[in-house]
Chains A and B, each alone.
Chain A
Amino acid sequence: MAGFEPWTRERGAEIIAKESGREGATLPILHALQDAFGYIHADSVPMVAEALNLTRAEVHGVVSFYHDFRRTPPGRHVLHLCRAEACQSLGADSLAAHVRARLGVDWHDTTADGAVTLAPVFCLGLCAIGPSAMLDGTPLGRLDNARIDAALERAR
């Protein structure tokens, strides 16, 4: 995935202003912030609250409720590995154990070299070609240890 831009208040304010005209704009704003910076910077929370006439607690509540929103920067690549039942039926649990061991990280962690963040996901809609994953937005199906290793190798 192309690198994220570094957080600045000016860019944050610009993004918030662009999205805040919609009704119920909280999620569109947070998505736009994360798309730009890779995560929701703590300084952006009061800015979103101000723009939408909400309390900081309300915005914090939204950020922390949804699995997608990260509050720390991700690695250069993000691997979403499916953990749901259809993929379990084809060995997703052992694939996940392999990936965690190979990367030396647990769920939600980033490798020490900052290369890969491992995120669990519950279903990518690729349930007839499991086990499945998404690497930087690219879907991957019929995975086994060798195929996921190759995909991670190409990404690095």
Chain B
Amino acid sequence: MTVRVYVPRDAAALALGADAVAGLLRQAGDVEVVRTGSRGLFWLEPMVEVATAEGRIAYGPVTVADISGLLAADMLVGGSHPLRLGRPEELPFLAKQTRLTFARCGIVDPLSLDDYRANGELRGIARAREIGPAATIELVTQSGLRGRGGAGFPTGIKWKTAADANGERKFIVCNADEGDSGTFADRMLMEGDPFVLIEGMAIAGFAVGATKGYVYTRSEYPHAIATFNAALDVARRDGLLGAHFDIEQRVGAGAYVCGEETSLLDSLEGKRGQVRAKPPLPAHKGLFGMPTVINNVVSLASVPIILDKGAEFYRVIGTGRSRGTMPIQLAGNIRHGGLFECGFGVTLGELVNDIGGGTLSGRPVRAVQVGGPLGAYFPPALFDTPFDYEAFAARDGLIGHGGIVVFDDTVDLAKQARFAMEFCAEESCGKCTPCRIGSVRGMEVIDRIVAGQRPEANLDLLRDLCHTMKFGSLCALGGFIPYPVMSALEHFPEDFRPAHREAAE
């Protein structure tokens, strides 16, 4: 009897040798190798699963050197071996999660629409067609879903604005320009379950009256681009996409600022990715001047289950004004790095220490940066902060796209603050002065502070500069760079003192 073996083809699994593992398993007799996305337990990748009478049994991390030993230990019938992990859904990291948006990621063949249907899907778009556009928008609003890209704007209200706007054409634009360090949820989903994004966009198109959707994917994700294009072909052949609603994927070109929605629109139009002043809102005048809904991958991919199970099902999960689940990404110097989808409200400390297992290096955690390059650095003293849009804002931070980057006690926060300014200078679109010039001056001022040149006066100057950037910049790049800089200064002032630096060196 043919044994079915699942080997991820997620880019992170590939980076750890999954292709070679799959190749060897294909030669291991009567074996059918199914390539899946990743379940998101990256310290166990490549994680191989074998279909047995007792369900799937996982082994990991598997390298090519382990294969002969695993086969000798009867891996193909779930035999015992030091790398045997048991049933994946019983692993604590997965058992503690509430997987809604990522329910199928890492389990199904990403390009099998039959697999997708077998798992109960396409009920979302069916439900939308049943209740009509207005009720669909109302349901998304009632669910409490907010933008998962970082801004946290209510998705239903955005859709309603675009639905009510006049335009000869309307567009759905999916922001897959996932540039924040520490984040990979969009990539995993596009590689592991692309049909859920296609269904979410089709629902959005139906709800607002758009017939064309664009997905703007960053060029740093060649595997996501290839899988998603292949999925689009499958969906067109199936009739899920067609004249009523079609999707085209466009590829970015390495500009971080194109993750900002208005510069993304300029880039899609074929221009330099420069930020637009708002108003007009993209929902009124967006792509090619037409009403446009622009949502993050995870926001759109969360819509099918909301339509299928209802607003209340989603809304009861979470805390405060942050409803539903968030795919939190544990990254950097962390023992158990990966994707952890759960309801809002879990604390930062639980995520880093209990779920993430502390640092990979085994040294104490000194700082975590939450929300990408524009997010604040928090010390362990703030680990009681619940993962929630408002709770992070109240402590001068942000959750952004849900990435948490852990640093051990070797980190130099003055260096990280300088890097933030350097990154901003490199990636600024150049349109507004506070960001374009402020970031360069910011680097220089931090250099003078750590060199001990008039430190008090220069610290005042840095604070003043951050204030100007925060309130004077046109978009979140210049506007939020003060978060990492000021949080580093506030929580780790000792790193900015020259005496400390000399001692450290």
Bound together? yes
- A contact residues vs B (CB 8 Å cutoff): 22-28, 30-31, 52, 58, 61-62, 65-69, 80, 84-90, 121-130, 132, 134, 137-142
Q: Evaluate contact between B270 and A86: CB separation under 8 angstroms.
A: no
Interface residues of B in 330-346 (CB under 8 A from A): 330-334, 337-338
Q: Evaluate contact between B253 and A66: CB separation under 8 angstroms.
A: yes
Interface residues of B in 9-50 (CB under 8 A from A): 11-12, 14-16, 42-43, 45
Q: Is B383 an interface residue (CB 8 A)?
A: no
Q: Is B390 an interface residue (CB 8 A)?
A: no
Q: Which of A58, A61, A137, A139 contacts B12 (CB 8 A)?
A: A139
Q: Evaluate contact between A127 and B253: CB separation under 8 angstroms.
A: no
B269-280 interface bits toward A, Cβ cutoff 8 Å, 1 = contact, 0 = none:
111110000000
Q: Which of A67, A69, A127 contacts B337 (CB 8 A)?
A: A127
Cβ-closest chain B residue relative to A142: B16
Residues of chain A with a CB closer than 8 A to B248's CB: 22
- Given known pairs A23-B288, A62-B270, A65-B255, the reply for A127 and B250 (CB within 8 Å) is no
Residues of chain B with a CB closer than 8 A to A140's CB: 15
15 of the cross-chain contacts (CB-CB < 8 Å) are A28-B251, A68-B253, A85-B369, A86-B332, A89-B333, A90-B360, A123-B183, A124-B221, A127-B329, A127-B331, A127-B332, A128-B184, A128-B332, A128-B338, A129-B42
Q: Is B268 an interface residue (CB 8 A)?
A: yes
Q: Which of A68, A69, A122 contacts B423 (CB 8 A)?
A: A122
User: How would you classify the secondary structure of chain A's contact residues: helix, strand, loop or mixed?
Assistant: loop
Q: Is B286 an interface residue (CB 8 A)?
A: no
- Docked Cα-Cα span, A140 to B18, in Å, equals 11
User: Total interface residues on B, using CB and 8 Å?
Assistant: 61
Residues of chain B with a CB closer than 8 A to A27's CB: 250-253, 267, 270
Residue from the set B178, B182, B186 with the largest chain A CB neighbour count within 10 Å: B182
- Given known pairs A85-B405, A141-B12, the reply for A128 and B330 (CB within 8 Å) is yes
Interface residues of B in 240-278 (CB under 8 A from A): 248, 250-256, 267-273
Name the distance in Å between A30's Cβ and chain B's nearest Cβ. Answer: 7
- Docked Cα-Cα span, A29 to B406, in Å, equals 39
- Docked Cα-Cα span, A66 to B256, in Å, equals 9
- Given known pairs A85-B182, A85-B373, A90-B360, the reply for A129 and B12 (CB within 8 Å) is yes
Q: Evaluate contact between A85 and B16: CB separation under 8 angstroms.
A: no
User: How would you classify the secondary structure of chain B's contact residues: helix, strand, loop or mixed?
Assistant: mixed
Q: Evaluate contact between B333 and A128: CB separation under 8 angstroms.
A: no
- Docked Cα-Cα span, A86 to B253, in Å, equals 21
Residue from the set B43, B250, B288, B331 with the largest chain A CB neighbour count within 10 Å: B331
- Given known pairs A62-B271, A65-B272, A123-B179, the reply for A128 and B42 (CB within 8 Å) is yes
Cβ-closest chain A residue relative to B367: A89
Given contacts A24-B288, A86-B182, 6 further A-B contacts (CB under 8 A): A26-B270, A67-B255, A89-B408, A126-B12, A127-B329, A128-B331
Q: Evaluate contact between A85 and B416: CB separation under 8 angstroms.
A: yes
Cβ-closest chain A residue relative to B373: A85
Cβ-closest chain A residue relative to B331: A127
- Docked Cα-Cα span, A86 to B416, in Å, equals 11
Cβ-closest chain A residue relative to B212: A23
Residues of chain B with a CB closer than 8 A to A84's CB: 181, 373
Residues of chain A with a CB closer than 8 A to B220's CB: 80, 121, 123-125, 134
- Docked Cα-Cα span, A26 to B270, in Å, equals 5
- B contact residues vs A (CB 8 Å cutoff): 11-12, 14-16, 42-43, 45, 178-184, 186-187, 219-224, 248, 250-256, 267-273, 288, 329-334, 337-338, 360-361, 369, 373, 403, 405-408, 411, 416, 419, 423, 427
Name the distance in Å between A120's Cβ and chain B's nearest Cβ. Answer: 9
Residues of chain A with a CB closer than 8 A to B369's CB: 85
Cβ-closest chain A residue relative to B361: A90
- Docked Cα-Cα span, A37 to B323, in Å, equals 49
- Docked Cα-Cα span, A61 to B492, in Å, equals 41
- Docked Cα-Cα span, A84 to B331, in Å, equals 12
Q: Evaluate contact between B15 and A126: CB separation under 8 angstroms.
A: yes
Q: Evaluate contact between A125 and B332: CB separation under 8 angstroms.
A: no
Residue from the set A30, A67, A139 with the largest chain B CB neighbour count within 10 Å: A139
- Docked Cα-Cα span, A129 to B38, in Å, equals 13
Residues of chain B with a CB closer than 8 A to A62's CB: 270-272
Name the distance in Å between B334's Cβ and chain A's nearest Cβ. Answer: 7
- Docked Cα-Cα span, A155 to B372, in Å, equals 32
Residues of chain B with a CB closer than 8 A to A88's CB: 416, 419
- Given known pairs A68-B254, A89-B405, the reply for A125 and B183 (CB within 8 Å) is yes
Cβ-closest chain A residue relative to B251: A31
Residues of chain A with a CB closer than 8 A to B337's CB: 127-129
Name the distance in Å between B376's Cβ and chain A's nearest Cβ. Answer: 12
Residues of chain A with a CB closer than 8 A to B332's CB: 85-86, 89-90, 127-128, 130
Q: Evaluate contact between A65 and B273: CB separation under 8 angstroms.
A: yes
- Docked Cα-Cα span, A52 to B269, in Å, equals 12
- Given known pairs A62-B270, A129-B12, the reply for A69 and B253 (CB within 8 Å) is yes
Q: Which of A25, A52, A121, A125 contacts B11 (CB 8 A)?
A: A125
Name the distance in Å between A136's Cβ and chain B's nearest Cβ. Answer: 10
Q: Which of B12, B273, B360 contacts A66 (CB 8 A)?
A: B273
Name the distance in Å between A91's Cβ and chain B's nearest Cβ. Answer: 9
Q: Evaluate contact between B181 and A85: CB separation under 8 angstroms.
A: yes
- Docked Cα-Cα span, A132 to B181, in Å, equals 12
Name the distance in Å between B403's Cβ and chain A's nearest Cβ. Answer: 7
Q: Which of B11, B269, B270, B419 contacts A85 (CB 8 A)?
A: B419
- Docked Cα-Cα span, A25 to B360, in Å, equals 45
